[in-house]
């Protein structure tokens, strides 16, 4: 984490989104460990069925496009865009901020207004890293991808 108080102020925090339901269940089903993809990642602690809700991301509600500017220069992405005006900045959020990108993901985010839920896309074996597709990143040249999947787009 390289976030500083200064970048937070620049991002104009307009609210906080706390996670209620998932903080309780999260430690039993996921674990944060070193990832082969990038830095730390989130891993399944048990076998998981497809289409299972794992929990909800927590973080700060920030205004776009200020928030986009602050992540452009960061090596990791902790920003989930909710609408044209708002994003969820997860730098100080719960363990779901460690979800790495894969071009062949096994999880996805479901965004309902300001609530960002994490679901499995398919059955996941215990010990597997949980990944989502970030889509396009705010970085001008894109970010290099090391997800290792056969479908890898190389840049995201």
Residue among 116 and 145 whose Cβ is closer to Zn ion: 145
Question: Whole-number minimum distance, CB 129 to Zn ion, in Å?
Answer: 13
- Asked if omega into 65 is within 30° of 0 (cis), the reply is yes
Would you say 59 or 138 has its CB closer to Zn ion?
A: 138
Q: How far is the CB of 101 from Zn ion (least distance, A)?
A: 7
Tokens of 80: 């989930």
Residue 40 or 146 having the CB closest to Zn ion? 146
CA-closest candidate to residue 149, choices 101, 91, 78: 101
Q: Which is nearer to Zn ion, 38 or 91 (CB)?
A: 38
User: For residue 10, what are the CA distances in angstroms to 3, 86, 142?
Assistant: 11, 14, 22
Q: Closer to Zn ion at the Cβ: 49 or 135?
A: 135
Least distance between Zn ion and beta carbon 132 (Å): 12
Smallest separation (angstroms) from Zn ion to the CB of 153: 6
The CB-of-108 to Zn ion minimum distance in angstroms stands at 16
What are 7's two structure tokens? 């970048």
How many other C-beta atoms can be found within 10 angstroms of the C-beta atom of residue 58? Answer: 21
Nearest-angstrom CA–CA distance, 114 and 85: 11
Residue ranges binding Zn ion (CB under 5 A)? 103, 145, 147, 152
Listed in order, strand segments (DSSP E) in 68-147 are 79-81, 86-89, 100-101, 107-112, 115-120, 129-132
């Amino acid at each position: 984490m390289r976030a500083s108080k200064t970048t937070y102020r620049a991002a104009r925090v307009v609210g906080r989104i706390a996670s209620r339901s998932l903080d309780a269940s999260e430690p039993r089903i996921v674990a944060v460990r070193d990832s082969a993809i990038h830095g730390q990642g989130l891993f399944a602690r048990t076998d998981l069925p497809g289409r299972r809700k794992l929990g909800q991301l927590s973080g700060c509600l920030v205004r776009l496009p200020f928030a986009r500017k602050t992540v452009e220069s960061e090596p990791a992405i902790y920003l989930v865009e909710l609408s044209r005006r708002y994003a969820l900045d997860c730098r100080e959020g719960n363990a779901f901020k460690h979800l790495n990108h894969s071009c062949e993901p096994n999880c996805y985010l479901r965004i309902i207004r300001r609530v960002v839920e994490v679901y499995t896309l398919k059955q996941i074996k215990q010990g597997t890293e949980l990944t989502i597709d970030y889509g396009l990143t705010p970085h001008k040249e894109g970010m290099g991808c090391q997800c290792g999947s056969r479908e890898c787009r190389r840049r995201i």
